């Protein structure tokens, strides 16, 4: 009989494996309304780690946190025709409240460009008020027809940044700064995901944007996941909401604006980028629990040693939890493996008699016998090594599954199992249509050296092509 914690293998059925991990790692459940989700404490702890790391980077980039209303007048969306075209199928609209029909329907925010634009117009008077750099942590609603926990849900959590600038150059530079210094840095140095960076083709831009920058991660099944986006909005929203400032000569000019966001989709990306047939594999810098101390037996001297080891690890800066021995040892080990905790410290009476413990790495399953006196120092070394190894292994997998091709047809073939890289000027409108017909798309356009171009008209650009979530 299969273990109740047995997971579907990735090679057998990757989507089912994903669902198994989300459920058995106690990350989330489906909500009572179709498309909504309940994030359980362990899943939320992972989101909190993302929040903390990202929020610190956002603040270093000069943005300040604020909060704007959940309900937005429908009329705000009508001011930006491109915005309506891009979001109208996904809008949740409230027409009744307090038992009465509303005189004007209100939209449950799908994103906040419109409402923030309204207040930017109110708050900005002079060039001295610029740049105005705002961010909010919030929930948004986009009515999703094909929901999947963390990846696509009708309501999800995210951060959305919105900024106003005196010039196109300043706005574009800031969007690029967020793209690289906040998002890409977080993905690589915290989540250990070596994402491809670039810009979206014009056909894939955010509604109302003049340029969209993206970070695209490769999941373990060879598909792409759009992990973050940053948008240059030009003067489109400034024009719609009259976001103007007085320049140094006293003349009125339109601002240039940006928006950028990342959501709980990153938790789904974490699962699929590193997870294996035993469950999650959480990079140490992402882990709410970096080491779990597991009592092999529920005996007083073992439990006392576990508490002492926990204190020593925490004093060394290692986020530690103790499993004090409820249930069988094998079942508890399996539970922690599914949760992907980077290090497992097994404490048994025989080891204690010899002054040692067994440390197990989650990434490769290797076991080390470590002196209790040296455990704290050794654990920090192992966590650093594990973080490096996850990034390097993810990069090796990505590069091995990325194929350089010459034609659109070759790109389609390569995208069945991984990514394709092809000269951007070889695709064209017909090539994009051909890709889309077969559920393949241009994920991003980048320079030959892998850096992000300013626009899709630069010479010698390459396109990253893949199937995507």
Q: Is residue 281 part of a domain?
A: no
- 460 with 412, same domain: the answer is yes
For residue 183, tell me if it sits in a domain: yes
Task: Read off the pLDDT of residues 164-185 as tens digits, 9 standing for 90 and up.
Answer: 999 999 999 999 999 999 999 9
What is the CA angle 143-149-154, rounded to 5?
10
- 268 and 295 inside one domain: no
174 and 260 both lie in a single domain = yes
Asked if residue 395 belongs to a domain, the reply is no
Given pLDDT bands bounded at 50, 70 and 90, which one contains residue 378?
very high
The per-residue DSSP string of 405-446 comes to -SSHHHHHHHTTTSEEEEEGGGTHHHHHHHHHHTT-EEEEEE
Q: What is the CATH number of the domain that holds 184?
A: 3.30.930.10
Q: What pLDDT score was predicted for residue 1? A: 38
| Residue 388 belongs to some domain of the structure | no
Distances (CA, A) of 262 to 230, 270, 410, 414: 9, 13, 32, 28
- Closest of 81, 89, 93 to residue 207, by C-alpha: 81
CA dihedral 208, 214, 220, 223 (to 10 degrees): 40
Does the pLDDT of residue 6 top 90, yes or no?
no
Query: Which helix (H) or strand (E) element contains residue 468?
Result: none
What total number of domains does the chain contain?
Answer: 3
Query: Per the structure block, which two tokens stand in for 115?
Result: 């409402």
Q: What's the 3-state SS for 245-295?
A: EECCCCCEEECEEEEEEEECHHHHHHHHHHCECCECCCCHHHCCCCEEEEE
pLDDT digits 0-9 by tens, 287-302: 999 999 999 998 999 9
Q: Is 66 domain-assigned?
A: yes
Q: Which residues are registered as beta bridge partners of 217?
A: 225
* 175 and 301 both lie in a single domain: no
Average pLDDT, the chain: 95
CB of 25 closer than 8 Å to CB of 280: yes
Q: Do both 178 and 247 map to the same domain?
A: yes
Per residue in 380-423, pLDDT (tens digit) is: 999 999 999 999 999 999 999 999 999 999 999 999 999 999 99
Mark whether 79 and 193 lie in a shared domain: yes
Residue at a domain's end among 352, 382, 412 = 382
Distance CA 427, CA 92 (A): 36
Please say if the pLDDT value at position 376 is more than 90.
Answer: yes
Domain of residue 333, residue span: 291-382
Rg (CA), the chain: 25
Alpha carbons 200 and 161: distance in angstroms, whole number: 19
Query: Do 228 and 310 belong together in one domain?
Result: no
- Residue of higher predicted confidence among 298 and 15: 15
326 in a structural domain: yes
Residues 73 and 199 both lie in one domain = yes
Distances (CA, A) of 403 to 319, 420, 434, 463: 40, 5, 19, 12
Residues 194 and 88 in one domain: yes
CATH (domain of 308):
3.40.50.800
* pLDDT tens-digit map of 412-450: 999 999 999 999 999 999 999 999 999 999 999 999 999
More confident: 83 or 338? 338
Q: Does 389 map to a domain? A: no
2 pLDDT more than 60: no
Q: What is the CATH number of the domain that holds 452?
A: 3.30.110.30
Return the residue matching tokens 């905790």. Answer: 341
Say how far apart CA 307 and CA 422 lie, in whole Å: 56
Same domain, 270 and 298: no
Distance separating alpha carbons of residues 161 and 63, to the nearest angstrom: 8
Would you say residue 4 has pLDDT above 70? no
The residues near 227 (Cβ < 8 Å, ≥ 6 apart) are 183, 187, 193, 195, 214, 215, 216, 217, 262, 265, 266, 269
Q: Is 358 within a domain?
A: yes
Is the distance from CB of 189 to CB of 444 less than 8 angstroms?
no
Spell out a b/e string for 226-242, using b for 16 or more CB atoms within 10 Å of the CB, else e: bbbbbbbbbbbbbebbe
Helix (H, G, I), strand (E, B) or coil at 241: helix
Mode of pairing for the β-strands spanning 71-73 and 37-39: unpaired
Q: Confidence class of residue 87 from pLDDT cuts 50, 70 and 90?
A: low
Element (H, E) at 448: none
Q: Do residues 270 and 295 share a domain? A: no
Crossing angle of helices 375-400 and 300-315, rounded to 10°: 70
Give SS3 for 377.
helix
Question: Where among 219, 244, 274 does a domain terminate?
Answer: 274
For residues 219 and 272, is the Cβ–Cβ distance under 8 A? yes
Please state the separation of Cα 387 from the chain's center in Å.
17
Task: Specify the DSSP class assigned to residue 44.
Answer: H
What does the DSSP assignment read for 202-226? GGGSPTT-SEEEEEEEEPTTS-EEE
- Whole-structure pTM over 0.85, yes or no? yes
- Nearest alpha-carbon partner for 216 in 229, 230, 201: 229
What secondary structure does DSSP assign to 103-168, as a single string? Answer: EEEEEEPS-SHHHHHHHHHHH--BGGG-SEEEEEEEEEE---SS-BTTTB-SEEEEEEEEEEESSH
Confidence of residue 5 (pLDDT cuts 50, 70, 90): low
CB 269 within 8 A of CB 173: no
One domain, residues 55 and 175: yes
Predicted confidence at residue 82, as pLDDT, reads: 63
Tokens of 319: 């986020």
- Report the C-alpha gap between 294 and 398 in whole angstroms: 34
% residues pLDDT > 70 (the chain): 97
């Amino acid at each position: 009989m299969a273990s109740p914690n047995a997971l579907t293998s990735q090679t057998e059925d990757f989507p089912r494996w994903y669902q198994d991990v989300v459920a058995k790692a106690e990350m989330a459940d489906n909500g009572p309304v179709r498309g909504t989700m309940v994030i359980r404490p362990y899943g939320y702890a992972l989101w909190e780690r993302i929040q903390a790391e990202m929020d610190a980077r956002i603040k270093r980039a000069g943005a300040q946190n604020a909060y704007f209303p959940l309900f937005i007048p429908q009329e705000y969306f009508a001011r930006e025709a491109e915005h309506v075209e891009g979001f109208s199928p996904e809008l949740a609209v409230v027409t009744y409240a307090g038992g009465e029909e509303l005189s004007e329907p209100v939209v449950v925010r799908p994103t906040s460009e419109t409402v923030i634009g309204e207040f930017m117009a109110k708050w900005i008077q002079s060039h001295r008020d610029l740049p105005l750099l705002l961010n909010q942590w919030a929930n948004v609603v986009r009515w999703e027809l094909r929901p999947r926990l963390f990846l696509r849900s009708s309501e999800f959590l995210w951060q959305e940044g919105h900024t106003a600038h005196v010039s196109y150059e300043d706005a574009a530079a800031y969007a690029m700064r967020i793209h690289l210094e906040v998002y890409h840095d977080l993905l690589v140095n915290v989540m250990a995901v070596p994402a491809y960076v670039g810009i979206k083709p014009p056909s894939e831009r955010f509604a109302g944007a003049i340029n969209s920058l993206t970070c695209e991660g490769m999941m373990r099944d060879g598909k792409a996941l759009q992990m973050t986006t940053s948008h240059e909005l030009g003067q489109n929203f400034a024009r719609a909401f009259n976001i103007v400032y007085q320049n140094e000569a006293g003349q009125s000019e339109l601002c240039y604006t940006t928006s950028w966001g990342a959501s709980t989709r990153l938790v789904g990306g974490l699962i699929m980028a590193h997870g294996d047939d035993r469950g999650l594999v959480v990079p140490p810098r992402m882990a709410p629990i970096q080491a779990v101390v597991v009592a092999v037996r529920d005996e007083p001297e073992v439990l006392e040693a576990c508490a002492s080891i926990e204190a020593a690890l925490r004093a060394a800066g290692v986020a530690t939890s103790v499993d004090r021995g409820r249930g069988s040892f094998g079942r508890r080990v399996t539970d922690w493996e599914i949760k992907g905790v980077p290090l497992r410290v097994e404490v048994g009476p025989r080891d204690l008699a010899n002054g040692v413990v067994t440390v197990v790495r989650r990434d490769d399953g290797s076991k080390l016998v470590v002196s209790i006196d040296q455990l704290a120092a050794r654990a920090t070394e192992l966590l650093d090594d594990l973080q490096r190894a996850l990034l390097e292994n993810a990069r090796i997998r990505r590069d091995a599954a990325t194929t350089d091709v010459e034609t659109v047809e070759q790109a389609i073939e390569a995208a069945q199992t991984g990514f394709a890289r092809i000269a951007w000027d070889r695709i064209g409108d017909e090539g994009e249509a051909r890709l889309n017909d077969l559920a393949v798309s241009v994920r991003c356009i980048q320079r030959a050296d892998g850096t992000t171009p300013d626009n899709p008209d630069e010479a010698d650009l390459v396109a990253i092509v893949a199937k995507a979530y």
